[in-house]
Structure 1
Amino acid sequence: MPTAERTVRIASSHGLHARPAKLFSQAAGASGAAVTVAKGDGAPVNAASILAVISQGIDHGDEVTVAVDGDNADTVLDQLVELLLTDHDE
């Protein structure tokens, strides 16, 4: 069970396409924690995998749930949520 979880609305105006997905996946992988992301009621995928993240088809305004399990889960979650709440397409 994740130690920290939050549902957020995607801010990037083109959703989690290549650039925002890359930033998010790299941050998830670098965190050292187990991180998953799920679109709506969909199955969670490994957030450190850019292909898994892009395959979710996450668009602007979609709600996603980010779950983090590991040391500093709350801090990692805060950093990842901040990435999702930033429009990287401006």
Structure 2
Amino acid sequence: MPTRKVKVASRVGLHARPASLFVQAVTATGLPVTIAKGDGDPVDARSILMVMGLAVGNNDEVTLTAEGDGADAALDQLVELLEVDHDAP
């Protein structure tokens, strides 16, 4: 099962707008994707409440895991999304 680790670049972490953009991108993949903060338990990355409940802050490392056809490419796109500060002016 493909996995990627990435540090979240958004200044507010995965809250509000960045979390919404991330969840929309995950949902668009059509794949089951999980996200975990540090060594924590993974949660469904398609759920805005679950993602925001992780309390991911700026520069926190998260682990993304996906399963299915195209999982590697989907994870690469999600990593790119998380490496951008979506709160920058």
TM-score by length of structure 2 reads 0.96
Equivalent residue for 2:67, pick from 66, 69, 74: 69
Q: Are 2:86 and 1:88 aligned?
A: yes
Alignment of 1:9-88 (within 5 A): 9-88=7-86
User: Structure 1: how far apart are the matches of 2:25 and 2:59?
Assistant: 21
* Amino acid in the other structure paired with 2:37: K
Unaligned stretches of 5+ residues in structure 2: none
- What is the RMSD computed on CA atoms of the aligned residues? 0.6
Q: Percent identity?
A: 57
Number of residue-to-residue matches in the alignment: 88
Unaligned stretches of 5+ residues in structure 1: none
1:4 matched residue in structure 2: 2
Q: Secondary structure at the match of 1:67?
A: strand
User: Structure 2: how far apart are the matches of 1:50 and 1:83?
Assistant: 16
Q: Deviations 1:25-74 (Å, cap 9, x if unpaired)?
A: 11111101110000001100000101100000000010000001111011
Q: Secondary structure at the match of 1:37?
A: strand
User: Structure 2: how far apart are the matches of 1:17 and 1:70?
Assistant: 27
Q: Secondary structure at the match of 2:20?
A: helix
